[in-house]
């Protein structure tokens, strides 16, 4: 079938044609937006799960919902800001830069007093991580108050920024939505600051909604950063889709294009993907390309599933495997015997005939590369479903 019209969207963060099975979380977000607009507060939320289950696209749907109501939205990725491209300013720089465009959009001389103060605060925040660059909002901020988000203490500066920007946004009836993806990659100080800001927002009635997304280790690292984190957030585990939702993820995008899946074809693909959103998109794409006319039949699904598997092996899994050094691959192999469930680090060491401490660097590097995570202390697990299977299919190097 016409590849140009192919509605499936495999790839990190790519918005699916049909975002299914997440109604509860999206409804809760909508209620949060409503509450804040009516002067109440809403609990911050943590979305956690393996790679490829749809955390980023869910977070983006939160962003869209907030932006459609005219909220100021900052969606950032933790860890990304530590690279040279972001000036090494980490979460501080990422949040600051994400707010620039929405603030520019609202900056005009007729803006309310609070919005103008927020601009001043944003300028001071910018100066706290970027001494060379500055922003010009094109309005006179001589007498407006604000500022002071440049003490260098992240918790204090971020709180001031969030408070003032939220107050400015609320002048238009909205608020500020702060969305942090890959939050497990934030430093302990950044996580502590995020918790402190979310906590202050709830206690002091700031018009702010916070959502964090990350790997299954995120609830644990948050609790380590601030002991009250356990009670602060609503924790939502994001997992593979239920069979019904998986069917919808395949069928709905096709129906919209006038294409029909036979029952047998859908069943085959749902079973082959285990309902993992990334895999559904990949397999759906291959099945579509395989089919002729306007029906995806069982035979198409069989070929499409085989091609989907090959595409995952060549891309999704292979790219991760190739990122690991020889020593790290040996570590991953030793884990693979346990499937996706996770393995005690001591067990990995025993299988490799090594001391646990001597494998610390390999383990730390694999975590930094996003290939494994620690579901609990002393345990390692793969960050993507099906990685163990893939590794067992690889010829020994
Ligand atoms: N609820 C969903 N329904 C259908 N497809 C989805 C859903 N969530 C995610 N996807 C698809 O799965 C893939 C991975 O999504 P992404 O948000 O990047 O996952 P994560 O952030 O958890 O790694 C993308 O191709 C996306 O289109
Ligand atoms: Mg993601």
Specify the CATH number for the domain of residue 98: 3.40.50
pTM of the model as a whole: 0.95
- Whether 200 and 81 map to the same domain: the answer is yes
- Whether 283 and 341 map to the same domain: the answer is no
Pick the last residue of a domain from 218, 237, 256: 237
pLDDT of residue 273: 97
pLDDT of residue 100: 97
- Whether 150 and 254 map to the same domain: the answer is no
Determine, yes or no, domain membership for 12.
Answer: no
Pick the last residue of a domain from 269, 303, 320: 320
Ligand 1 geometric centre to CA of 240 (Å): 10
Pick the last residue of a domain from 279, 301, 320: 320
pLDDT of residue 62: 98
- Whether 88 and 218 map to the same domain: the answer is yes
Domain ranges, residue 260: 243-320
Ligand 1 geometric centre to CA of 52 (Å): 6
Closest ligand relative to 18 C-alpha = 1
Determine, yes or no, domain membership for 7.
Answer: no
> How many distinct structural domains can be found in the chain?
3
Q: Does any ligand 1 atom lie closer than 6 A to the CB of residue 170?
A: no
Determine, yes or no, domain membership for 231.
Answer: yes
pLDDT of residue 151: 95
- Whether 256 and 359 map to the same domain: the answer is no
Closest ligand relative to 49 C-alpha = 1
Determine, yes or no, domain membership for 247.
Answer: yes
The preferred substitution site among 7, 29, 57, 245 for testing ligand 1, maximizing ligand atoms within 8 Å of CB, is 57
Determine, yes or no, domain membership for 1.
Answer: no
- Whether 91 and 221 map to the same domain: the answer is yes
Q: Does any ligand 1 atom lie closer than 6 A to the CB of residue 19?
A: yes
Determine, yes or no, domain membership for 5.
Answer: no
pLDDT of residue 187: 95
Q: Does any ligand 1 atom lie closer than 6 A to the CB of residue 312?
A: no
- Whether 332 and 375 map to the same domain: the answer is yes
- Whether 91 and 64 map to the same domain: the answer is yes
SS (H, E, C) the chain: CCHHHCCCCCCCCCCCCCCCCCHHHHHHHHHHHHHHHCCCCCCCEEEECCCCCCHHHHHHHHHHHHHHCCCEEEEEECCHHHCHHHCCCHHHHHHHHHHHHHHHHHCCCCCCHHHHHHHHHHHHHHHHHCCCCCCCCCCCCCCCCCCCCCCCCHHHHHHHHHHHHHHHHHCCCCCEEEEEECHHHCCHHHHHHHHHHHHHHHHCCCCEEEEEEECCCHHHHHHHHCCCHHHHCEEEECCCCCHHHHHHHHHHHHHCCCCEECHHHHHHHHHHHCCCHHHHHHHHHHHHHHCCCCEECHHHHHHHHHHHHHHHHHHHHHHHHHHCCHHHHHHHHHHHCCHHHCEEHHHHHHHHCCCCHHHHHHHHHHHHCCCEECCCCCEEEECCCCHHHHHHHCCCC
Q: Does any ligand 1 atom lie closer than 6 A to the CB of residue 12?
A: yes
pLDDT of residue 87: 60
- Whether 86 and 138 map to the same domain: the answer is yes
Low-confidence ranges of the chain (pLDDT < 70): 81-87, 397
CATH number for the domain harbouring residue 329: 1.10.10.10
- Whether 27 and 72 map to the same domain: the answer is yes
Q: Does any ligand 1 atom lie closer than 6 A to the CB of residue 245?
A: no
Ligand 2 geometric centre to CA of 59 (Å): 9
- Whether 191 and 211 map to the same domain: the answer is yes
Q: Considering only CA atoms, which residue is closest to atom 27 of ligand 1?
A: 16
- Whether 74 and 197 map to the same domain: the answer is yes
Determine, yes or no, domain membership for 215.
Answer: yes
Determine, yes or no, domain membership for 59.
Answer: yes
pLDDT of residue 79: 86
């Amino acid at each position: 079938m016409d590849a140009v019209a192919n509605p499936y969207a495999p790839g990190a963060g790519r918005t699916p044609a049909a975002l299914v099975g997440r109604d509860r979380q999206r409804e809760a977000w909508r209620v949060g937006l409503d509450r804040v607009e009516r002067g109440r507060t809403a609990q911050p939320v943590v979305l956690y799960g393996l790679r490829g289950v749809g955390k980023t696209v869910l977070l983006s749907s939160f962003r869209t919902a907030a932006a459609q109501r005219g909220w100021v939205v900052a969606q950032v990725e933790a860890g990304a800001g530590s690279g040279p491209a972001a000036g090494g300013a980490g979460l501080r720089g990422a949040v600051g830069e994400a707010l620039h465009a929405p603030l520019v959009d609202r900056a005009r001389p007729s803006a309310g007093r609070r919005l103008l103060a927020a601009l001043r605060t944003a300028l001071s925040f910018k100066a706290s991580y970027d001494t060379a660059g500055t922003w010009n909002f094109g309005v006179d901020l001589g007498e407006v108050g604000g500022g002071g988000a440049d003490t260098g203490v992240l918790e204090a500066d971020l709180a001031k920024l969030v408070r003032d920007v939220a107050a400015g946004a609320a002048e238009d009836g909205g608020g500020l939505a702060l969305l942090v993806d890959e939050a497990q990659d934030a430093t302990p100080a950044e996580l502590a600051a995020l918790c402190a800001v979310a906590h202050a927002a709830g206690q002091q009635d700031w018009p702010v909604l916070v959502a964090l997304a990350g790997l299954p280790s995120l609830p644990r690292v948050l609790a380590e950063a601030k002991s009250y984190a356990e009670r602060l957030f609503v924790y939502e585990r994001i997992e593979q889709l239920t069979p019904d939702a998986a069917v919808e993820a395949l069928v709905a995008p096709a129906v919209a294009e006038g294409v029909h899946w036979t029952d047998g074809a859908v069943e085959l693909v749902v079973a082959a993907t285990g309902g993992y959103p990334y895999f559904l998109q990949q397999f759906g794409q291959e099945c579509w390309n395989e089919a002729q006319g306007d029906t995806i039949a069982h035979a198409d699904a069989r070929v499409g599933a085989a091609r989907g598997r090959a595409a995952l092996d060549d891309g999704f899994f292979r790219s991760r495997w190739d990122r690991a050094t020889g020593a790290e691959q040996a570590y991953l192999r030793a884990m693979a015997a346990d499937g996706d469930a996770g393995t005690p680090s001591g067990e990995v060491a025993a299988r490799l005939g090594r001391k646990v401490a001597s494998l610390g660097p390999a383990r730390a590097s694999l975590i930094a590369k996003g290939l494994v995570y620690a579901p609990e202390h002393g345990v390692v697990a793969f960050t993507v479903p099906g990685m163990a299977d893939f590794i067992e299919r690889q010829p020994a190097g």
